[in-house]
Chain A
Amino acid sequence: MRKGFVFLLVLALVLVGLAGTSAEPSRAQGTWSLAEAAKPYAGTEIRAFFLERPGYVAAQQMIPEFEQITGIKVTWDVTPYENSLEKQTLDFTGGTAQFDVVLVDVVWIGNFAANGWIVPLEKFYKNPALADPELNLDGFFPILLESFGTWDGVIYGLPFDNYSGLLYYNKCMLQEAGFERPPDTWEELLNVYGPALTKDGKYAFALQSRRGETQSADSFMRVIWPFGGSLLKDDFTSNLSSPESLAGLKFRQDLMRYMPPDIVAFDHDETVQALAQGQVAMITEWSAFYATLANPATSRITDCLGITVEPAGPAGRKPALGGFSLAVNSSSSEAKQAAAWLFIQWITSEAKAKEYAERGGVSGRRSVYQDPEMIAKFPHYPALAESWEKYGNAVFRPRFPEWPALSDVIAQFGTEMMLGSISVEEGVARIEAQMATILRDYTAGRLPKLQ
């Protein structure tokens, strides 16, 4: 009897032990499910802030699946980019919480985070009830998560709509002029490709330079970095009058000989159209425009389209970096915050990344760019992944709340510089004068020097 009892006891212990060891991992991986996590929030309605760009259309197509799994209702507003900072700022300052899922441009993260308008995501990803065990934050390109997801070491947003500058070129025009490959450096583009490709009313290059963020980010900053310049020194005083920054800006003036004469009126659309219609041979534009240029309905050069990384300058390759993360509004109710997090986690997840990309989005997940099937479908992926993996520059534009004001000043004098109504040196001097006022709280030490 006693033997039998001991045997049973041992057996029971072993069984309990086995059950215990097998239960541990299943709680971590197997039993978490989106449907379970969302149960307390079924019926909650959340509103997302979207733009009219391909990635957001992809998300809209995917939302019904999320709603079906979770019972959370997701609605959205589509706003033009130009009004989106203003609209969201008014929502934040008014505390109206119209949007639970907010959209954070790389240059707004400091503004939104420093003012406490968006929730640090720790609150959710450290909560086992809400965090998907397969969230895998390391699966994002680090540069993307850092530049438009993180402020002062804290994660606020997950990369959703991701951009890098790429060099798009018209292979046929280049071949006709005797070039077998695109230019590797900016100097080569200016000195070799420029003169050869500018003829018969066509131009070698177009750099979108319309007044606004296009001038300050796409044009002005794009020529400063590759030449070793930068906007600010470490002490937040201007670095624009350094020889390197000036060299970049002067390079842009030289390049104007090979650009359409109304280049200061070119926004993204005009620039992409100029390449798509065969008016110019090369442009440096955001990765998102691949869809327009590769589509026969919107482009005449689909067969001639070539894509590579942006040219290198004397200081190396410094392509433009941009993009948006999705974040949670601090003014939203707790339930809506949790629901918003579940949506953000799901739409940016590794599991959904491929579908998102196939529907036209540009995922921030590394895995998609290593998938041979996807590379075959999207030939610009290697250049894109290379730009983010090797050349990413998180402070391509400063991300503090003062950037919009600074951007406006740069946009104004930047275009005047290009028009030749003021010299490069004079333009820089005027930007510096206003920049000193805008950033005085930093230089005087009243604000932490974060960008």
Chain B
Amino acid sequence: MANLADAVNLVETEQTARHRRPLRINWLALAMILPSIIALLLIGLYPLLFALSLSFQRFLLNRPQNNGLFVGFENYATVLNDPLFWSSLGRTLTMLLIVLIVQIVAGIGIAVLIDSSRWRAVNWTVKTALVIPIAMTPAVVGLLGLLIFNRDFGLMNYLLGLIGIEKVNWLGDPTMAMVAIILTDIWQWTPFAALIMLSSLAIVPHDMVEAAKLDTKNSWTIFRYVKLPYLMPGITAFMIIRTADVLKLFDMPFTLTRGGPGVSTELISLYVQRMGFRIFDMGVASAQAVLLLILCIILARAYIHFFYRTPESE
């Protein structure tokens, strides 16, 4: 959930930047937040700087004799010339695009349904149920996926069998294995989108909706011009969080397919892990991680630039 905090911070800095006040330092407040700042620097910034320095060194864990040798941009050159890096990055970005679109659209749909429902008990139950997939450990989700997508005994093929569809070779076929990973991710994270959208819908002023209803009976028009603007900050935050999330998505695919069959589900994080902890080339693995971080920052800035609008600015 640190991601959520980061994203909210980003959104807030954008807001405060617009109405900047003269700087006055509140020493007491500073003293009180100092311990957490120090902790953050230690566990956030230090490893980052360490990885940055590693990325310029030869650092093989299983041949430690010449470790620490400065090699300039050699590790970066290795990464950029590695076709496997590009193919796993491409796979990850394709998956990101698909899950973002599906999760945002489905999330809004679920949120609007709950928001317009009048039964409080149903609302409460659905909201609680939505939290369950998010709260599950990704590694466990992957293990569940192994059972659900098993060709012979799996739940998925059983359900498909009920409507007369032949057994699907989910985990043994390169394309279907990727589909299984995407479906699992959608299952786990659509509820998160729904919850964010639900809280955004809650801040839409009631009188504005009422006023709009006087002008038009078309509920799509009301959604598009009255409600959607209030959803945009939430959507942007969701996109930033999920982008970082998918770029480092590891546990679930690792337990579900381990990147196989072949390289068909090798997402970028699996590849970085493989480089670091199977091939034990920490230098190259760090270079990959640094490049990913840069990509993540660029995407986050792009999202804010293109999607982030406060309702007032519409």
A and B: interacting chains: yes
A404, B280: Cβ atoms closer than 8 Å: yes
- Residues on A with C-beta less than 8 A from B151 are 260-262, 265
Q: How far is the CB of A211 from chain B (nearest CB, A)?
A: 3
- Residues on B with C-beta less than 8 A from A412 are 260, 262-263
- Residues on A with C-beta less than 8 A from B62 are 89, 111, 115, 401-402, 404
- Residues on A with C-beta less than 8 A from B261 are 210-211, 264-265, 415-416, 418-419
A261, B277: Cβ atoms closer than 8 Å: no
A419, B278: Cβ atoms closer than 8 Å: no
Complex interface bits, A225-268 against B, C-beta within 8 A gives 1, otherwise 0:
00000000000000000000000000000000000111111000
B257 at the interface (CB under 8 A from A): yes
B177, A405: Cβ atoms closer than 8 Å: no
Q: A89-B62, A408-B278, A412-B262 are in contact. Are A265 and B177 (CB under 8 A)?
A: yes
How big is the B interface, by class? 20 to 34
A212 at the interface (CB under 8 A from B): yes
| Contact residues of B between 32 and 72, Cβ < 8 Å to A | 61-64
Complex interface bits, B263-295 against A, C-beta within 8 A gives 1, otherwise 0:
100000000001001111000000000000000
- Residues on B with C-beta less than 8 A from A411 are 260
Q: How far is the CB of B186 from chain A (nearest CB, A)?
A: 21
Q: How many residues of A contact B (CB 8 A)?
A: 35
- Residues on B with C-beta less than 8 A from A262 are 151, 169-173
A405, B279: Cβ atoms closer than 8 Å: yes
- Residues on A with C-beta less than 8 A from B260 are 210-212, 215, 264-265, 411-412, 415
A405, B280: Cβ atoms closer than 8 Å: yes
Q: How far is the CA of A115 from the CA of B62 in the complex (A)?
A: 8
B311 at the interface (CB under 8 A from A): no
B259 at the interface (CB under 8 A from A): yes
B152 at the interface (CB under 8 A from A): yes
B174 at the interface (CB under 8 A from A): yes
A421, B174: Cβ atoms closer than 8 Å: yes
B259, A211: Cβ atoms closer than 8 Å: yes
A279 at the interface (CB under 8 A from B): yes
A86 at the interface (CB under 8 A from B): yes
A93 at the interface (CB under 8 A from B): yes
Q: How far is the CA of A235 from the CA of B171 in the complex (A)?
A: 39
In the complex formed, the residue of B with least CB distance to A115 is B64
B258 at the interface (CB under 8 A from A): yes
Q: How far is the CB of B254 from chain A (nearest CB, A)?
A: 8
A404, B279: Cβ atoms closer than 8 Å: yes
| Contact residues of A between 67 and 117, Cβ < 8 Å to B | 85-86, 89-90, 93, 111, 115
In the complex formed, the residue of A with least CB distance to B255 is A82
| Contact residues of A between 387 and 429, Cβ < 8 Å to B | 401-402, 404-405, 407-408, 411-413, 415-416, 418-419, 421
B63, A401: Cβ atoms closer than 8 Å: yes
B278, A404: Cβ atoms closer than 8 Å: yes
Q: How far is the CB of A118 from chain B (nearest CB, A)?
A: 14
In the complex formed, the residue of B with least CB distance to A411 is B260
Q: How far is the CA of A115 from the CA of B280 in the complex (A)?
A: 14
B274, A408: Cβ atoms closer than 8 Å: yes
Q: How far is the CA of A5 from the CA of B300 in the complex (A)?
A: 105
Q: How far is the CA of A262 from the CA of B63 in the complex (A)?
A: 37
Cβ 8 A contact of B262, one of A90, A93, A279, A419 = A419
- Residues on B with C-beta less than 8 A from A274 are 152
B152, A211: Cβ atoms closer than 8 Å: no
Q: How far is the CA of A212 from the CA of B260 in the complex (A)?
A: 8
Q: How far is the CA of A86 from the CA of B276 in the complex (A)?
A: 9
Q: A93-B61, A93-B64, A401-B63 are in contact. Are A260 and B258 (CB under 8 A)?
A: no
In the complex formed, the residue of B with least CB distance to A408 is B278
Q: How far is the CB of A87 from chain B (nearest CB, A)?
A: 9
- Residues on B with C-beta less than 8 A from A261 are 151, 169, 172
Q: How far is the CA of A412 from the CA of B279 in the complex (A)?
A: 13
In the complex formed, the residue of B with least CB distance to A407 is B278
- Residues on B with C-beta less than 8 A from A260 are 151-152
Q: How far is the CB of B77 from chain A (nearest CB, A)?
A: 15
Q: Kindly name the residue among A93, A210, A264 whose own CB sees the greatest number of chain B CB atoms within 10 A.
A: A264
- Residues on A with C-beta less than 8 A from B150 are 270
- Residues on B with C-beta less than 8 A from A86 are 277-278
A421, B172: Cβ atoms closer than 8 Å: no
- Residues on A with C-beta less than 8 A from B174 are 419, 421
| Contact residues of A between 172 and 219, Cβ < 8 Å to B | 210-212, 215
| Contact residues of B between 217 and 249, Cβ < 8 Å to A | none
Q: How far is the CA of A263 from the CA of B172 in the complex (A)?
A: 7
Q: How far is the CB of B210 from chain A (nearest CB, A)?
A: 55
In the complex formed, the residue of A with least CB distance to B273 is A86
Q: A263-B172, A279-B152, A401-B63 are in contact. Are A415 and B278 (CB under 8 A)?
A: no
Cβ 8 A contact of B278, one of A265, A405, A416 = A405
Q: How far is the CB of B50 from chain A (nearest CB, A)?
A: 13
Q: How far is the CA of A415 from the CA of B263 in the complex (A)?
A: 9
| Contact residues of B between 65 and 90, Cβ < 8 Å to A | none
Q: How far is the CB of A318 from chain B (nearest CB, A)?
A: 25
- Residues on B with C-beta less than 8 A from A402 are 62
B172, A211: Cβ atoms closer than 8 Å: no
- Residues on A with C-beta less than 8 A from B173 are 262
Q: How far is the CA of A259 from the CA of B174 in the complex (A)?
A: 18
Q: A260-B151, A401-B63, A404-B280 are in contact. Are A212 and B172 (CB under 8 A)?
A: no
- Residues on B with C-beta less than 8 A from A416 are 261-263
B171, A265: Cβ atoms closer than 8 Å: yes
In the complex formed, the residue of B with least CB distance to A87 is B277
B280, A89: Cβ atoms closer than 8 Å: yes
A89, B262: Cβ atoms closer than 8 Å: no
Q: How far is the CB of A321 from chain B (nearest CB, A)?
A: 22
A89, B61: Cβ atoms closer than 8 Å: yes
Q: How far is the CA of A86 from the CA of B62 in the complex (A)?
A: 10
In the complex formed, the residue of B with least CB distance to A417 is B262
Q: How far is the CA of A263 from the CA of B277 in the complex (A)?
A: 26
Q: How far is the CA of A402 from the CA of B152 in the complex (A)?
A: 37
Chosen A-B contacts, 21 in total, with CB atoms closer than 8 Å, are A86-B278, A89-B61, A89-B62, A93-B61, A111-B62, A210-B260, A211-B259, A211-B260, A260-B152, A262-B151, A265-B257, A274-B152, A401-B62, A404-B62, A404-B280, A405-B279, A407-B278, A415-B260, A415-B261, A418-B261, A421-B262
Write the residues of chain B forming the contact surface with A, with a CB cutoff of 8 angstroms. 61-64, 150-153, 169-174, 177, 257-263, 274, 277-280
Known pairs A210-B258, A270-B150; list 13 more (Cβ under 8 Å): A85-B278, A90-B61, A211-B257, A211-B259, A212-B258, A262-B170, A264-B261, A265-B172, A265-B261, A408-B274, A408-B279, A415-B261, A419-B174
Give the top 8 A-B pairs by smallest Cβ distance, nearest first.
Answer: A262-B172, A211-B260, A265-B171, A416-B262, A86-B277, A264-B261, A265-B172, A405-B279
